[in-house]
């Protein structure tokens, strides 16, 4: 008895059905992967929140957003929380004093070996898995981590928000010209230059103040001759770099501060992008302007860490007045849902 095989038409039908099923399955797989990446991103912020609270338990205050050095560039808040994210061995090798402790440079400018201590180390809690950015990059003489989360110094006035008195606003930044020098830095947030505050200063309630925000995607497309190359705003110095000023924002009383790394003053909506060039976006620069937008590769928004240690997904469509209030510790507003 002869066995009947598949005809060519039947085989093509089977292949077509399989192709349709694969096409239907792939988006679900991609969505599942992105859900896992978003969960890890959220967990990164939870780790940092726990670290900040453990730091607070030890010192009764959060770390300074940035610390300067008498020799120049000091350390960022990231370096202060290392013992509380299982990185005490790295922390214990760092020199927090002396000349330029935050600058990863081996020449005369920096009288320490801090760059070599963290060179090549990937601090996973600082990196969003969904990010297209290259997180370990050159920072002078060493390749070091460029974090994808920024401490919040506050928010600029605007959209009906006028909570910043004159002495809580400074122009920024006194370096490099261009858009980097057209920013504004405020001290209404939680992590500010040369300023350490405790939970008691978050008078709006710790659940109503954003302490750290995600910034893990490209910001603008470079003009010619770079063509379509996309640019991020992480700067070139990485996670160690703090600031060079030995004064607080209030001490400038509207004057010009220098750059402050690993911090941002919120001025734009989440995932705001300047296409082709950044001329229309004051305070945003590939040389580290202070008004770096909170952004991500996640669909629809970014993650933010609140003062109580919880993490919220903040929509691209959030009202800007609400966002500015969320970034300010003492504007008297209870946020509720956002």
Higher-confidence residue of 312 and 72: namely: 312
Render pLDDT for 163-197 as a digit per residue (tens, 0 to 9).
777 689 998 887 766 677 788 999 999 999 999 99
Please check whether residue 192 lies inside any domain of the structure. Answer: yes
Closest CA to 290 of 311, 262, 317: 262
Please check whether residue 18 lies inside any domain of the structure. Answer: no
Residue 221 has pLDDT above 80, yes or no: no
Please check whether residue 287 lies inside any domain of the structure. Answer: yes
Identify the band that residue 313 occupies on the pLDDT scale cut at 50, 70 and 90. very high
Q: What is the pLDDT of residue 106?
A: 65
Residue length of the chain: 338
Please check whether residue 24 lies inside any domain of the structure. Answer: no
Q: Output the six-digit token pair for 293.
A: 């937008």
Query: What are the angstrom distances between the C-alpha of 209 and each of 48, 189, 217, 306, 335?
Result: 15, 8, 23, 5, 9
Higher-confidence residue of 212 and 160: namely: 212
Residue 212 has pLDDT above 50, yes or no: yes
Sort 328 into a burial class: Cβ within 10 Å, 0-12 / 13-18 / 19+. Answer: buried
pTM recorded for the entire structure: 0.86
Please check whether residue 237 lies inside any domain of the structure. Answer: yes
Please check whether residue 299 lies inside any domain of the structure. Answer: yes
Separation CA 69–CA 298 (nearest Å): 37
- Three-state secondary structure along 158-208? ECCECCCCHHHEEEECCCCCHHHHCEEEECCCCCEECECCCHHHCCCCHHH
Please check whether residue 106 lies inside any domain of the structure. Answer: yes
Number of domains into which the chain is organized: 1
Instruction: Give the domain range for residue 108.
Output: 30-326
Separation CA 190–CA 163 (nearest Å): 15
Please check whether residue 21 lies inside any domain of the structure. Answer: no
Q: What is the pLDDT of residue 275?
A: 46
Query: Which neighbouring-strand residues pair with 143?
Result: 138
């Amino acid at each position: 008895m002869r066995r009947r095989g598949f005809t060519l038409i039947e085989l093509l039908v089977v292949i077509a059905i399989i192709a349709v099923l694969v096409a239907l399955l792939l988006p679900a797989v991609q969505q599942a992967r992105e859900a896992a990446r978003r969960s890890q991103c959220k967990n990164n912020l939870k780790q940092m929140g726990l670290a900040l609270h453990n730091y607070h338990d030890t010192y009764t205050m959060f770390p300074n957003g940035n610390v300067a050095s008498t020799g120049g560039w000091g350390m960022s808040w990231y370096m202060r929380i290392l013992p509380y994210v299982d990185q005490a061995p790295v922390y214990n090798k760092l020199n927090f004093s002396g000349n330029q402790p935050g600058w990863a440079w081996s020449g005369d400018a920096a009288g320490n070996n801090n760059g070599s201590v963290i060179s090549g180390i990937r601090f996973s809690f600082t990196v969003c898995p969904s990010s297209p950015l290259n997180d370990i990059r050159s920072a002078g003489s060493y390749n070091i981590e460029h974090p994808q989360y920024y401490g919040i110094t506050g928010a600029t006035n605007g959209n009906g928000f006028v909570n910043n008195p004159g002495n809580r606003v400074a122009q920024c930044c006194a370096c490099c010209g261009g858009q980097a020098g057209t920013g504004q830095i405020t001290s209404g947030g939680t992590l500010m230059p040369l300023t350490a505050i405790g939970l008691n200063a978050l008078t709006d309630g710790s659940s109503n103040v954003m302490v750290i925000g995600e910034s893990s995607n490209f910001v603008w497309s470079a003009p010619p001759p770079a063509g379509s190359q996309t640019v991020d705003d992480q700067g070139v110095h990485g996670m160690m770099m703090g600031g060079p000023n030995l004064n607080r924002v209030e001490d400038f009383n509207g004057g010009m501060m220098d750059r402050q790394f690993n911090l941002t003053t919120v001025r734009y909506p989440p995932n705001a992008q300047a296409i082709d060039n950044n001329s229309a976006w004051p305070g945003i620069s590939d040389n580290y302007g202070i008004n770096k937008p909170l952004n991500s590769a996640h669909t629809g928004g970014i993650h933010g860490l609140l003062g109580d240690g919880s993490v919220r997904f903040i929509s691209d469509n959030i009202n800007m007045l609400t966002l500015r209030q969320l970034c300010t510790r003492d504007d008297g507003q209870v946020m509720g849902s956002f």
